[in-house]
């Protein structure tokens, strides 16, 4: 019997649920593309994202209080409903030129991020412990394959019918209502409740020997946050004359690469983890460097392969090095502190990335590449 057939019905449906949602994530690129099409500069776009995310953090405190300790099914439905409101606002903003509504739409869109703990809770409940690792293989590979297949097709269709981009936002908004029904009416219910705000009882600080590994995680957040989706859209438009179809190809390469290399890596001996993590970090630095210094759009697709290969190699082995070195008594304090620092970084860097891209569309990627090189040096010494 295959490992897929051994999964309970709830697990198989949950994985298909993510496959269904994956095509709609392409609209994370459509939104900034429309911002640029409507005349907003990359600096203004970065400011809007930072302001929207800050506003969302304030609102999230209230929403989190209302939804704290709800079931995962309820929270997943709430995420889809929030998407319905955000995409509806985006549609109104772009259709009628009410650009202040973009700020509200961004704030509402990022509001759903505070509800994401629902996903790991549901996964923990429906993925049987004895085959959990195999369940996660399907959990990642199938959505990545969905991305690889559908994104070029979506990008091509939207490029051909560019005059209807605003209408596509309304379509995704309505589709989100269907996605809100799935966790409530199709996915089996689980009894576990999600506590959105965890209180750590341990007061120990971060052990000194873990500071380099923690610094690497923080620097990774900075490097990635300097290259968000709107920066890639701006680079393709301004430097290469590309559009949504090229973004679709880029993400398709990422999807195929991640899916293809993820399974073999699970069989790699853990003793080789450190050198493999270094290779992965090096590939990510190369990928960002290609985007920063290349002049041909074909190089962008090479960068997509290098980045996704590096990411698939680095992530499991670096995280293993990080978590295996965290003492049990310091786990809460350290992870809580790192999460808080990374959240602050993610709030501020869109604005910085926008201003860097205003100087040159390549500059955010050059900066990110240099940061990744620093990370490689730190990991080589302390990993």
Q: What is the count of structural domains for the chain?
A: 2
pLDDT digits (tens, 9 = 90+) for 263-294: 676 666 666 777 888 899 999 999 999 999 98
Digit-coded pLDDT (tens) for 302-312:
999 999 999 88
How far apart, in whole angstroms, are the C-alpha atoms of residue 266 and residue 144?
Answer: 17
Do residues 181 and 306 both lie within one domain? no
Cα within 13 Å of Cα(91), Cβ side: 15
pLDDT grade for 327, boundaries at 50, 70 and 90: low
Give residue 170's domain range. Answer: 1-147+160-188
Instruction: Characterise 208 by phi-psi region: left (phi > 0), alpha (psi -120 to 50), beta (else).
Output: alpha
Under 8 Å between Cβ of 337 and 206: yes
State the Cα angle at 257 between 252 and 262, rounded to 5°. Answer: 135
Looking at residue 246, the DSSP 8-state letter turns out to be: H
- pLDDT confidence tier of residue 195, bands split at 50, 70 and 90: low
User: Domain for residue 252, yes or no?
Assistant: yes
358 and 236 inside one domain: yes
Q: Looking at the domain assignment, is residue 197 inside a domain? A: no
CATH of residue 373: 1.20.1250.20
Residue 369 is assigned to a structural domain of this protein: yes
Q: Do 219 and 322 form a contact (C-beta atoms < 8 A)?
A: no
pLDDT tens-digit series, residues 36-52: 999 899 999 999 999 88
Structure confidence by residue, pLDDT tens digits, 196-252: 665 545 555 556 667 777 788 889 889 999 999 999 999 999 999 999 999 999 999
Tell whether 196 is covered by a domain. no
Q: Are residues 222 and 176 in the same domain?
A: no
Same domain, 90 and 138: yes
Whether residue 101 sits in one domain with residue 240: no
If asked whether residues 25 and 166 sit together in one domain, one would say yes
**Are residues 124 and 247 both part of a single domain?**
no
338 within some domain: yes
**Of 64, 3, 22, 14, which is closest to residue 254 (Cα–Cα)?**
22
Average pLDDT over the chain reads 85
What local confidence, expressed as pLDDT, does residue 370 receive?
96
């Amino acid at each position: 019997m295959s490992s897929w057939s051994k999964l309970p019905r709830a697990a198989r449906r949950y994985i298909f649920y993510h496959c269904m949602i994956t095509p709609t994530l392409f609209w994370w690129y459509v939104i900034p593309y429309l911002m640029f099409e409507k005349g907003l500069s990359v600096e203004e776009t970065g400011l809007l994202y930072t302001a929207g995310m800050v506003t969302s953090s304030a609102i999230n405190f209230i929403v989190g209080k209302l939804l704290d300790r709800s079931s995962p099914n309820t929270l997943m439905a709430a995420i889809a409903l929030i998407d319905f409101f955000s995409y509806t606002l985006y549609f109104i903003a772009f259709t009628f030129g009410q650009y202040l509504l973009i700020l509200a739409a961004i704030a509402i869109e990022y509001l759903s991020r505070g509800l994401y703990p629902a996903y790991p809770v549901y996964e923990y409940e429906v993925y049987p412990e004895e085959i959990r690792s195999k369940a996660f293989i399907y959990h990642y590979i199938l959505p990545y394959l969905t991305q690889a297949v559908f994104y070029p097709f979506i990008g091509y269709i939207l490029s051909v019918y560019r005059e209807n981009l605003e209408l596509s936002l309304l379509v995704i908004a309505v589709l989100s209502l269907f996605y809100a029904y799935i966790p409530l009416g199709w996915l089996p219910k689980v009894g576990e409740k999600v506590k959105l705000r965890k209180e750590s009882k341990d007061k120990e600080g971060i052990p000194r020997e873990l500071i380099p590994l923690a610094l690497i995680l923080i620097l990774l957040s900075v490097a990635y946050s300097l290259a968000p989706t709107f920066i890639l859209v701006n680079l393709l438009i301004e430097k290469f004359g590309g559009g949504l179809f090229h973004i679709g190809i880029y993400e398709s390469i990422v999807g195929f690469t991640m899916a293809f290399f993820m399974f073999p890596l699970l069989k790699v001996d853990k003793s080789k983890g450190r050198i493999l993590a270094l290779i992965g970090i090096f590939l990510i630095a190369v990928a960002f460097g290609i985007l920063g210094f290349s002049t041909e759009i074909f190089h962008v697709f090479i960068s997509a392969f290098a980045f996704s290969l590096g990411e698939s190699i680095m992530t499991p082995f670096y995280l293993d090095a990080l978590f295996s070195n965290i003492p049990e008594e310091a786990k809460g304090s350290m992870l809580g502190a790192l999460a808080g620092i990374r959240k602050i970084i993610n709030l501020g860097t869109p604005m910085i990335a926008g201003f860097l891209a205003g100087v040159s569309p390549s500059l955010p990627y050059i900066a990110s590449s240099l940061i990744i090189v620093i990370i490689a040096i730190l990991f080589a010494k302390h990993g």
